[in-house]
Structure 1
Amino acid sequence: MRKLFLFLILWSLALISCEKEEKLAFAPINYLSDSCANCPKVKITIPNALEDSKISKTINNSLKEEIIYLLTFEDGVDVSNIEDAIASFKNGYDLQKSKFPDETIGWEAKVEGEVAYEDENLVTIQLKSYIFTGGAHGYAPTRFLNFDKKKGLEMENLELFKDQDAFLRFAETKFRIQEQVPMGKPINSTGFMFDNNMFYLSENIGFTKDGLQLFYDQYEVASYADGPIVINLPFEEIKEYMAFKFIKKAD
């Protein structure tokens, strides 16, 4: 009996250990611009995957490329890391300041990233950004990055679905219900700005603990004043459309 009891304990611990191993290890990493009167303010906080694995390297590289894309303001300059991207952002500000010396409002860039979802198949990183480079208001894009943990690759939105056309019809119905667009009427009949008056999926699609999120950024299908349009689709409602056979709800 004692041996059986010990075996059950060891077996339970092994199961717990396996479950923990499914989760990737992350630690936050911060980047700050120089603090000076004539420097733009830059603050970046993103998750850094710690393991020496293909998926971890892919995640870290994809995040780096996203930050570089957001902050690089110089044409023809090779920017290979986040520090250089921050320097490029400052150089862009300095150039603008030299052209318009009476401009008093400084530039600002803030990026915050978090692990929005993770299960045994995939991990989703959400990046929330605010970029101000003058003008009436800043730009606040949200970006989802989805990764296939088994293959160690970043995924395109198309790869999330086994039948995108079927999901598109389902998503349009959910969009119309939430945004009170009458069925049978053109999708732009209540003031939206879909190209060619045809519904399409948002550029940013990602998983959260509650399901799949379609995130339409400001200007994507509506005016700036309308803000972003967010459609949350629970796991139970989307599972028949997804390319993955099993999606375990994240803790």
Structure 2
Amino acid sequence: MKNISLKTTLFFLFIALSFFACRNEEKKGKDLTGTDTLTYKTEHIQVLSSYIPKPQDGITDITKATISYPVFQNKALNDYLLKQVFSFFSQEEPPTSYQDVANSFVKGYDEFATENKDYTHSWYLDINIKPISQFKDYIALAYTHSDYTGGAHGSHNIIYINFDPVQNKPLTLDNLIENGSSIKLTALGEQIFRKDEKLSATEPLTEKYFFENGKFILPLNFYIGKNGLVFLYNAYEIKPYVDGTTELVIPFDQLKGILKPQYLTAKN
């Protein structure tokens, strides 16, 4: 009886693990109303360097490139995501695939380290792309890109990708807002920015921020979230690196007459 019980237990454990693995492999995005939309699976790539640098402070780290990205049944969307990743790399020898991106990064380190035998640092590349919001004819993805190739510190950027999977085209901010409403949107954004940063309505923006000529502008980085229109300034964009990213959210109830109706109703 013990042997039968053990086999039965192992069988059901195998079924459970297989089910869990499938759930990790293939996912369905959730829109803002909780309805299933685009189905995708997540692919993972990791390439390790064969070159081991001299230990630093007793610690040895290996250079690696790690990439995690969704694969949709929509080829146009897949191609557009890949194009966004390629834009981060040299256009003289453009990569042709995610695998090529990882291989090229590690190869670049290996060549550099081989020529500089006393170099003690390792490099890293970490790319993660994942859906963060979607409904009917809209999907937004967060593309997080972190890397280190020497220097005082690495770089870290979050890029929001907006796409219409029905018409298969990228979406700009002008596509989402009513004609002639950009000035009103910017003014609204500045009000919220000043409130978040605890600034008065007249306090100049030249002291603490990098706005050109002290004039407030919204970043090109945005997406429609569950609470409204989300904007993100990456490090160095308006503040020093040490201050990191700055998020600005304009609530839906303040976007009436600005955000087009089909996107404004996403709040429901």
TM-score range for the pair, normalised by the shorter chain length:
0.7 to 0.9
Shift, 1:87, TM fit: 2.0
Matched residue, 1:48: 71
Matched residue, 1:29: 43
What is the CA–CA distance in structure 2 between the aligned matches of 1:166 and 1:248, rounded to whole Å?
20
1:94 aligns with 2:110: yes
Gaps of 5+ in 1: 1-18, 51-55
Matched residue, 2:209: 192
Matched residue, 1:176: 194
Gap change, CA 1:65 and 1:250, over 3 Å in 2 = farther
- Is the CA contact (8 Å cut-off) linking 1:32 and 1:43 kept in structure 2? yes
Gap change, CA 1:138 and 1:239, over 3 Å in 2 = farther
Matched residue, 2:80: 62
What is the CA–CA distance in structure 2 between the aligned matches of 1:57 and 1:186, rounded to whole Å?
47
What is the aligned length?
225
Q: Which amino acid aligns with 2:37?
A: K
Q: Secondary structure at the match of 1:25?
A: strand
- Is the CA contact (8 Å cut-off) linking 1:147 and 1:153 kept in structure 2? yes
Shift, 1:66, TM fit: 2.3
Aligned with 1:138 (options 154, 158, 167): 154
Matched residue, 1:237: 254
- Is the CA contact (8 Å cut-off) linking 2:144 and 2:157 kept in structure 1? yes
- Is the CA contact (8 Å cut-off) linking 1:144 and 1:205 kept in structure 2? yes
Matched residue, 2:140: 124
Matched residue, 1:15: none
Q: Secondary structure at the match of 2:38?
A: coil
- Is the CA contact (8 Å cut-off) linking 1:119 and 1:247 kept in structure 2? no
Aligned with 1:104 (options 115, 120, 124): 120
Gap change, CA 1:40 and 1:66, over 3 Å in 2 = farther
What is the CA–CA distance in structure 2 between the aligned matches of 1:217 and 1:246, rounded to whole Å?
25
What is the CA–CA distance in structure 2 between the aligned matches of 1:186 and 1:109, rounded to whole Å?
38
Matched residue, 2:228: 211
Gaps of 5+ in 2: 1-32, 53-61
- Is the CA contact (8 Å cut-off) linking 2:51 and 2:113 kept in structure 1? no
Shift, 1:20, TM fit: 8.9
Q: Secondary structure at the match of 2:193?
A: helix
Listed one character per residue, the Cα deviations across residues 142-162 of structure 1 (whole Å, up to 9, x for unaligned) are 010001233211112332222
Matched residue, 1:3: none
TM-score, reference length from structure 2: 0.76
Moved more, 209-218 or 230-239: 230-239
- Between the aligned residues of both structures, percent identity stands at 22
What is the CA–CA distance in structure 2 between the aligned matches of 1:20 and 1:232, rounded to whole Å?
21
- Is the CA contact (8 Å cut-off) linking 1:115 and 1:125 kept in structure 2? yes
Q: Secondary structure at the match of 2:103?
A: helix
What is the CA–CA distance in structure 2 between the aligned matches of 1:194 and 1:61, rounded to whole Å?
34
Shift, 1:244, TM fit: 4.2
Listed one character per residue, the Cα deviations across residues 27-80 of structure 1 (whole Å, up to 9, x for unaligned) are 111111146344631111122112xxxxx222211221222233x35x622422
Gap change, CA 1:140 and 1:20, over 3 Å in 2 = closer
What is the CA–CA distance in structure 2 between the aligned matches of 1:149 and 1:160, rounded to whole Å?
15
What is the aligned-residue RMSD (CA, Å)?
2.4
